[in-house]
Structure formats: C-alpha cells, structure tokens
Structure 1
Amino acid sequence: MFYNCHTHIFNAKSVPEDFLGHGLIRLLSKSKFSFYLVFYWKRASHWVVVNLQKIPVVSTVMHSDSYVLEKVSGWLRRSVFTRWLARIFEWFADTPKDFVAKYAYLIEAGREKSQELIFEKLRKIPCYSEDTRFVVLTLNMDHMAAGMPRINYLTQLSFITRLKKKYPQHLLPFLCIDPRSGDEKQLLSFARHYIEDLGYIGIKFYPALGFYPFDPRLKLLYEYAQEKEIPIMTHCTKGGVFYKGELTADHLHPRDLDNKFIDTVFIDTSQLRNRVFKNNFSNPDNYRLVLERFPELKICMAHYGGSDQIMDYLRTKNEKSWYYKIKRMLVEYRNVYTDVSYTLFETHVFKLLKEDILSDEVGDKILFGTDYYMTEQEKNEKDLVSDFRKVLNESLFMKIALRNPEKYLKSAFYYPP
C-alpha cells in the first residue's frame, strides 16, 4: 500500500467556458502566419462544421465552449486528433506551449462523463495496486474570471462527497478554499463542515487563480488547521492555469493576515500581464508571512517549485529559484513539505530529487504525487511512475510514498491505517 498525494479527477464540466482566455482562432491570429492561417481556417471551418458535427470538440476550437467537452466522440477518444491539434497550436500560436497543450489534453483526459469514471480509470492503471490511496485535489475555478463552468464548484464537491462514501479508504479528498468565497467565519464554517462532517482530510489552495495565501480572510482557517494538524496542499510553480480578470487594488496592494498593507516592494509590478503577474500569487515567499504567525502549520508546497526552477538551480545555483526557496523552508519549518508531482516527468531532475530524498535535512519532507491527469500531456501515468521508481530503490520510494505521507496526512480527523 502507498499514497499518491497529488491527483485530480474533475472533468470537463468543471472547466470555465473561457479557460484559455481566448478563442483558439484568436490565438492563431496572433501568430506570425496569421493571414494565411486565418484565411485557410475560415475556408476550412464551413467544411468542418458541416461534415464533422459528430465531433463536438470543433465547437470548443471555435468558441472555447466547455459545454461540449464532455461530448467528445468515441472516434476522437481513440484517435490522435487531440494530440495533433495540440502540436499544431504549439507550433503556430503565440502562447506558451504547455498551456495550449494542457487544454487539448484536458479535452482528451477529462472527456469522461463523471469524476467517478476518471477515478476508476486512475485506480486501474497497472502501476497502482488495489490498496493504493489517492489524495484527490478539488479545484475551485469559479473565481478565475474565465466564465462559469457548466457545473459550479459546489456541484463538483457534491460528486466528490458521494465518491468518498463509495471509496472511503482509497479516495482522500482535499477541499479547495478560495478566500473570495466568503468572509473569515464563512470560510471556517465551510471547511469545518466538509472536514468534520463529510470526510475531507485536507485543504487545497491554488493562489494563481487570483489571491494571496496571506489574505486576511484565511486567518481563522489557518488557526483551525494548525490546531487540528490538518494538511494544506498549495500550488507552487510558475506553470498552470491562472486568473484571467483585471488586476485590482487588492492584487496590487494586498493586505496581510492582520489586514495591514504589506510592503509594496514585495509585489513585482514590472509585468502586469496576468500570465506573468500570477507568479506574485504563487511565490513561495508568500508563505513566510503565514508561517511567521502559524509556525506549526502543516503545508505542502506542491511541485517543488517546478522542473524549470530545479533546472535553473542546477545550472546557475540561483538562490532565487523557487526550488531553492522551498528547500530552505523545508529546513526551517518543522511541518513544511513538498511533493514531486508533475515535476517528475522531467528525467533530468531525477538525480537531484534522489539526492534530496536521501538527505537528512529534507528527505523526510518530500511526498510522492503525480498530478494525474495533468501529466498525461507529458507521459502516461504508468510510465511516469515506473520510470521514477526505477531511479529509487524500494526503500526510498516507500519513504516518499508511505512513511512521509502518513506523517503529513495525519490529523485530528484522519489517522493512517
């Protein structure tokens, strides 16, 4: 038995209608070959609409309408069309490749009609045994200013709650909290209900969706989490989805947990494009402001900063890399952890990850996780896990996949078997 501490099973219904922030035609129109691409796209679009109505993903390409994602046909599921589409956009579109690819693979991997089907598919992957336990991270995308998903966050949670009852030992849900969802007391009440009454075992943050983890509305939640030893998992990489709306005074001049304005030097306003500004929300340094008040808080800085930050440190020993920042916090704070999710697709970082797992300083603070199904765009889950396990001996793997997770997940409401 072991744990995968970082997975997702939300499907296309949970994704906002303007997840990309643009229609894909608009993406194409920004490319160097915009005139030719738009000209031929327009000529081809009529044929596509008329002849390929059985492939609703066409609607997604033309309107970024997530309603149709769930209806991808069996032919599309078995074909290489989605991967081909992603590669075409990667080649021509004036946007980071990983972002466009993630959307295309979301169509493919998130095509299932229900979260249960995605979870069952995950459990059946050969790298997992019948008794493997999965931390399932919910995601609140209702406030990312990309339109509303077909099903809102509360509906997403209702499906997860039913699944938890069906798989009480194998599905370990974390409740995503966004401070824009309510005031201090409302957020605390919301968390207590799902954790104490419905069996959720942790809290999930995704600051890149438009908030800072030192938001004063989170203060009571932190007090509760520290007192009850409830684990928190937070997105901590420069990649991933992000807030699409206009930047507000709260973004540019945020307040700390005591509702006081923080030093503006702390926020980098040199780039106000959302794609870049989001790094202010996710910066590992933000958590120092939280940990100064709640030093015993149990929190996992997911992804170890990201493979790009690890590679940057390997090349330059850059102490501003997020990898290095997180590693220092692992040493300084007793209950700060990290995981290798998504990052482990990059084989070039295996050597350093193994060294850290062997380390007396931080080896007990690293968790195994994959970030399924987001990693499907890089490598299939079976190979992802198998390749990483080959680098570690069995003892080291069980250290990050069993012993460390047991310490991290243990709380007043969850006691590992």
Structure 2
Amino acid sequence: MSTNEQPNLEYKIHNIHCHIFTIKYLPKKFIGWYFPTTLVKKKWVANLLMRLVKKLAPRIAGFVYSAFKKDQKDIFNELRGYYPENTKFCPLTVDFDYMNAGKAQYNFLQQLEDVADLKRYYENKNFDVFLPFICVDPRRDGILELVKKYIEEEKFTGIKLYPALGFFPDDYRLDEVYAYAEANHIPITTHCIPKNKNHFRYKPTKEMVNKAKERFSEFYDTKDSRSSYDFAKYLNHPKNYEYILKKFPKLKINLAHFGGNEEWDKYLDVSDENFKKDRNWYSIIRKMMLTYDNVYADISFTVYDARLYPVLRNVLKTPKAKERVLFGSDFYMLQKDYSERRFGMDVRGYIDDDEFWLMAETNPKRFLFNE
C-alpha cells in the first residue's frame, strides 16, 4: 500500500503472535532434568514453582502459567477477554518433538489436531477470530504433506518456524515448504531473538558449528559451541533469511520479536564503531524491511519494556519500514512481566491512532491475506 493511500479500516485488532499450548505439550525435561513438567500438573506444585521462577528464572514463568489451564481453549478464551470481541489472533503452534528434552504428554501431531478442533469450534460459533499457524521442522518426515493438510484442509493461516529448536532456517529440507508458501502467498512467522529458554538440548553438531563459523565469521565465538543455549543465536540470526530470500524472493516472512529487547537496548546504548550496523539485530531487521517488500517484524514481548517505546515510535515514522511493523504480544509469555491488557493499552497509549491501526490492522492484513 502506498503511503498516500488511506486504508479502509474495520477497526479490528490483529494479534499476530500468541501461544495457547498448555504444559501438557511441553517435553518432560523442558524446565530441566531436575524438575520434570509432569510434576507441575499438581496445583500446589505449580503455585510454588511460579513463585520461585518469578524470582529465580522469570524466562520460564509463562510456561508455568500454562500449567494452571485445563486446555488450549481455556487459554485462548482468557486471551480473547483482554481484547475487543472482534479481535483476530494468530496462535502459533510449536513442534517440541526434536529438541531432545524428553517426551511430552501430548506430541506435536496431537497439538495440531487439538488446534484444528478449536478452529472448527469457533467457526461453528461464527467467530472468525482464530487464525492458527503450523510449525515446521526440517527433521520431520513428510513435512510438506503435513503443511498442505493443515493449510488446505484445516484452513490454518500460516507457517511457524522455531530454529532455536535445532536447525538453520535455510535447511534444504524446507525448500519445498518455502516454494509452496511463496506460490500460495502463505505468511511465515519465525522466532528472531538471540536467546531464550526454548532451545535444543544437545551439544551443537560439527556440521552446525562449521556452518555458523563460516556464515558468522566476523563475530563467531568458539565458546558458543559448548552450549546449546549460547549457540541458538546463530540459528535465530536474521541474516539466515537473506539466503532464503535469494531463492524465494516473494516469500512473506515476519521476523518475530524484531530482534528482542536486548538488541533494542544495544541499538540505543552501544556505539556503531566504524558504522558496522550489521552487528545489531534491530538494525539488521530494519534494513531488511527497507530492502524487501515482504519482510515484516512483530513487536511481541520486546516492547513490554516502556523504555523502548521511542524506538518503536521511530520505526513507525520511517517510510516503508512503518508498513512492515506488526502488532503481537507473545501471550502467554508476557504474563511473567505484566498482564496482556496492560501491554496492549500501554503500547496504544504511547503511539497515535494512525500508527496503532497501521500496526494492528493495515499491515497484518497485508501480511496474512492474499491481495
């Protein structure tokens, strides 16, 4: 859309990034070998753990929150309650089956079936509010057929990538998925933040290390190969998508979290010595948004920190880049910091109406739907 065109607004918020899976879909050792997820089924244990993780390990507090919920419908109904009734949501499924953290009570295929059932439930109620994404992992056999089933038969809206679970996003086994997505204008949302709790749990392979060394030679640290947590930043790095876009230039990609709050802090506080802006994830993603017509970035979780609102306001005033910013909250991960409604209201209160609806309706429609 041209910056001079006036969008025909319906004033419907689109939350492009949220999660509704419960702890039943998390691998047994997701929290750690010392505390299997099966223990958290008991409410008193969940209450105790929540108090502990808020102080000692706040990054997993959101996952513990999900233990209090009976099922995905329970989580989604709470999420809906924070927004106007006509708000549309994009629940992102996640395939935990290959992260090497043990088995979950319900595997990924069951997660998909349960989400498909929930989509049918809301459609039968005539509530067009549920736009789920199917997660893809190159290690799953028959991944293209699975994607086609849930996109074409179950009417899922898009595709989700979570490279930190153990793969580079330009893995050749995903080429057929990208070709299908490009040909059918299917949006892709991918995790794009350096580090968090959700990562693969085995030592990086020699093949992974060699690829990271070659691709990121300017700043690769050999110490990162000792830890999957540290190594995951190479799998998540936004530069990986430039290799994909060379093959599939019309692919619609949302670099979720816009690099993350730590990278936004670096942008504000760390000098770009010798003007090497390509080292900061915020700068890299913003440049990609200006370079490619089909690269987007959502603000989920990242702008829970009000100190970063000026950065958001700045990008929403930048020609072309402002047409690529998407509203998302990362519910329920946000619950560890403050409530969902506070997140939405605080963001909306800081920017003006035109900027909000650009981010919450106009841009998401362009990203989600065919022209």
AA in 2 matched with 1:8: H
Note the C-alpha offset of 1:87. Answer: 4.4
Equivalent in the alignment of 2:154: 198
Query: For 1:264 and 1:86, how far apart are their aligned partners in 2?
Result: 34
Say if 1:195 and 1:87 are closer, same or farther in 2 by CA, change over 3 A.
Answer: closer
Equivalent in the alignment of 1:370: 329
The residue matched to 1:387 in structure 2 has which SS? Answer: helix
Are the counterparts in 1 of residues 257 and 298 from structure 2 also a CA contact under 8 Å?
yes
2:109 aligned residue (133, 139, 154): 154
Are the counterparts in 2 of residues 268 and 277 from structure 1 also a CA contact under 8 Å?
no
Equivalent in the alignment of 1:299: 253
* TM-score, structure 1 as length reference: 0.79
Query: For 2:219 and 2:153, how far apart are their aligned partners in 1?
Result: 38
Alignment of 1:267-416 (within 5 A): 268=220, 270=222, 271-272=224-225, 273-318=227-272, 319=277, 320-411=279-370
Alignment of 1:17-416 (within 5 A): 17-23=28-34, 64-73=35-44, 81-88=48-55, 90=56, 100-125=57-82, 128-168=83-123, 169-182=128-141, 186-240=142-196, 241-254=198-211, 265=217, 268=220, 270=222, 271-272=224-225, 273-318=227-272, 319=277, 320-411=279-370
AA in 2 matched with 1:123: R
The residue matched to 2:160 in structure 1 has which SS? Answer: strand
Q: Deviations over 1:98-122 (max 9, x none)?
A: xx22324422244211001000111
Note the C-alpha offset of 1:262. Answer: 6.5
AA in 2 matched with 1:299: I
Q: Give the alignment's Cα RMSD to 1 decimal.
A: 2.0
Are the counterparts in 2 of residues 253 and 264 from structure 1 also a CA contact under 8 Å?
no
Q: Deviations over 1:6-31 (max 9, x none)?
A: 000000101111113441xxxxxxxx
Query: For 1:138 and 1:317, how far apart are their aligned partners in 2?
Result: 38
Counting matched residue pairs gives: 348
AA in 1 matched with 2:361: L
Note the C-alpha offset of 1:239. Answer: 2.9
Are the counterparts in 2 of residues 364 and 404 from structure 1 also a CA contact under 8 Å?
yes
> After the TM superposition, which parts of structure 1 deviate over 6 Å for at least 4 consecutive aligned residues?
none
Query: For 1:236 and 1:110, how far apart are their aligned partners in 2?
Result: 26
% identical aligned pairs: 32
AA in 1 matched with 2:148: R
Unaligned runs of 5+ in 1: 24-63, 91-99, 256-260
AA in 2 matched with 1:171: F
The residue matched to 1:301 in structure 2 has which SS? Answer: strand
* TM-score, structure 2 as length reference: 0.89
Larger radius of gyration: 1
Are the counterparts in 1 of residues 58 and 336 from structure 2 also a CA contact under 8 Å?
yes
Unaligned runs of 5+ in 2: 1-11
Are the counterparts in 1 of residues 195 and 229 from structure 2 also a CA contact under 8 Å?
no
Equivalent in the alignment of 1:58: none
Note the C-alpha offset of 1:363. Answer: 0.2
Equivalent in the alignment of 1:15: 26
The residue matched to 2:356 in structure 1 has which SS? Answer: helix
Query: For 2:271 and 2:287, how far apart are their aligned partners in 1?
Result: 13
Query: For 1:194 and 1:165, how far apart are their aligned partners in 2?
Result: 12
Q: Deviations over 1:25-48 (max 9, x none)?
A: xxxxxxxxxxxxxxxxxxxxxxxx
Note the C-alpha offset of 1:352. Answer: 1.2
AA in 2 matched with 1:295: P
The residue matched to 1:304 in structure 2 has which SS? Answer: helix
Note the C-alpha offset of 1:268. Answer: 2.9
AA in 2 matched with 1:349: L
AA in 2 matched with 1:162: D
The residue matched to 2:192 in structure 1 has which SS? Answer: strand
Query: For 1:192 and 1:213, how far apart are their aligned partners in 2?
Result: 19
Query: For 1:264 and 1:385, how far apart are their aligned partners in 2?
Result: 36
Note the C-alpha offset of 1:359. Answer: 1.5
Q: Deviations over 1:169-200 (max 9, x none)?
A: 11100000010112xxx221111111011011
